[in-house]
Amino acid sequence: MCPCSPNPLNNREMAHNAWARGSVNVFNLSLYNAPVYWGGCGGDYRTLKMTKKELRKEQTNRFIEKTIITTDLLLSSYLYDSTKMEDFLSFIANLDNKYSYVNMCLIKDQFPGASIVKSYSSWKKENVQVRKTEKGISIFRPKVIEYVVYDNKKVTKDKWTNEIKELVKNNELEVYTYTKGFTLCKVFDISQTTLPKNQYPKQYFLYFIKEDNENIEPNTKLLSLLCNFIKKHNIGITYASMGLITSEQRFYGTNIYGIQHWIRLNDKNSITQNIYSLVKEYAHTLLGHDKSAINNIENEYQAKLVAFTVCKNLKLKGIELSSFDKFRSWVNQSTKQMRKKWINSVIFASKQFTNDFNYFLDEIEINVNKLNLSETDKINEATERE
């Protein structure tokens, strides 16, 4: 290419430089809305003719590429600064959805106060209307390609014959999928809908930690509920005086109750610290850390980040992330792919914990309501006999 011609393919460098200068919004699609030029010497350029569909595809691809570059840079800054990481995890804690790291960044940038987001069609299926004036939040959606293996050849869905369609319909051919890149889609926060606030989904832990009377501390009740929740997963919980150690995990031979995995909490800690420690130790299980890998520095910090996010979701006060000084040795040696996989595991484990715990509390409420109804029926029956 002639050196005086603009290079339409150099998006990576342009995105990095623009982000570094701070001259554009981090995820601003308009950065790439200018026409694409092909040129020659003397400034004799002509605009590459595109259909609207082709132009939109080009703009989308540019935005996706820029977003990937930018989120990689953001993640590096989070992993070197615990304050920035706290801010990011606090956003994740308030968002009910389970999205990848990149989509979390996109939502945070466009709608920092988001709590529950869904597509327009998903809200519509729930008979909830999105207000007409609202602007959607752009996120990545994977392009999933369906295919079958027919006559020892891979045939994608767009090339299925009537015969193949019939075989698929009758479950005589197995359908496989793979992801081929990404496209953009729009989602809307619950606050952008016409749904009244009193009809928002219930957060069960807020219901359960309300004080029953002046003598019961909410955090004491929360710790008790968390212990019961974790015990249901065949994990024992015990207390011991452990000096400066906040908590630890022990693995023994299976006892008479079938429990071989124990979490030990420090009985000298505050209730708040023991809640955090309990969540942190259980996070190792959700993250798939076996007993030989629990003390690896990257796994230890991964569990700490899950615990911080869950505790933020539980509205627990006084929890902060410790310094990342010890953790930086792993960050310095890790690749972009390793770091992204690491933070995605934090996000997904946090969401799994919160969702499972809410489901556990939901079941308790259902059983309590059933018990109350049963007692009411007995009273009514006794009254009728009288």
What are the tens digits of pLDDT across the range 189-214? 999 999 998 888 866 555 444 434 44
| Residue 22: band (very low, low, confident or very high) from pLDDT cuts 50, 70, 90 | very low
- Between residues 100 and 35, which one has the greater pLDDT? 100
**Which pLDDT belongs to residue 300?**
92
Average pLDDT, stretch 97-119? 94
Query: Residue 327: which pLDDT band, with cuts at 50, 70 and 90?
Result: confident
367 compared with 317, residue with greater pLDDT: 317
Q: How far apart are CA 383 and CA 386, in angstroms?
A: 5
Give the sign of the dihedral formed by CA 178, CA 182, CA 187, CA 189.
Answer: positive
Ramachandran category for residue 318: left, alpha or beta (phi over 0 → left; psi -120 to 50 → alpha): left
In this prediction, residue 324 carries a pLDDT of 83
At 316, the pLDDT band (50, 70, 90 cuts) reads confident
DSSP string, 257-276: TS--EEEEEETTS-HHHHHH
Crossing angle for the helix pair 271-286 and 336-385, nearest 10 degrees?
Answer: 110
Nearest to 324 by CA among 340, 308, 335, 312: 308
> Which residues does 255 contact at the CB level (< 8 Å), separation at least 6?
none
pLDDT of 180: 86
Angle at 351 between CA 354 and CA 74, to 5 degrees: 135
**Pick from 9-18, 94-103, 224-233: least confident:** 9-18
pLDDT 10s digits, 264-299? 888 888 888 889 999 999 999 999 988 888 888 999
Residue with tokens 């016409």: 194
Percent of the chain with pLDDT over 70: 74
Out of 2-16, 75-89, 143-157, 210-224, least confident range: 2-16
Average confidence score pLDDT of the chain: 79
pLDDT, residue 67, reads 92
pTM of the model: 0.74
pLDDT band at 112 (very low <50, low <70, confident <90, very high): very high
Q: Which position has the higher pLDDT, 23 or 330?
A: 330
Q: Answer yes or no: are the C-beta atoms of 182 and 141 closer than 8 Å.
A: yes
% of residues, the chain, pLDDT over 90 = 45
What is the per-residue pLDDT for 350?
Answer: 96
pLDDT tier for residue 367 given thresholds of 50, 70 and 90? low
For the ranges 254-258, 317-321, 373-377, the lowest mean pLDDT is seen at 373-377
Specify the pLDDT at position 356.
94
Please check the confidence at residue 347 and state whether its pLDDT lies above 50.
yes
For 128-166, the pLDDT digits (tens) are: 999 999 999 999 998 889 999 998 899 999 999 999 999
Q: What is the pLDDT of residue 78?
A: 94
What is the predicted pLDDT for the residue at 371?
52
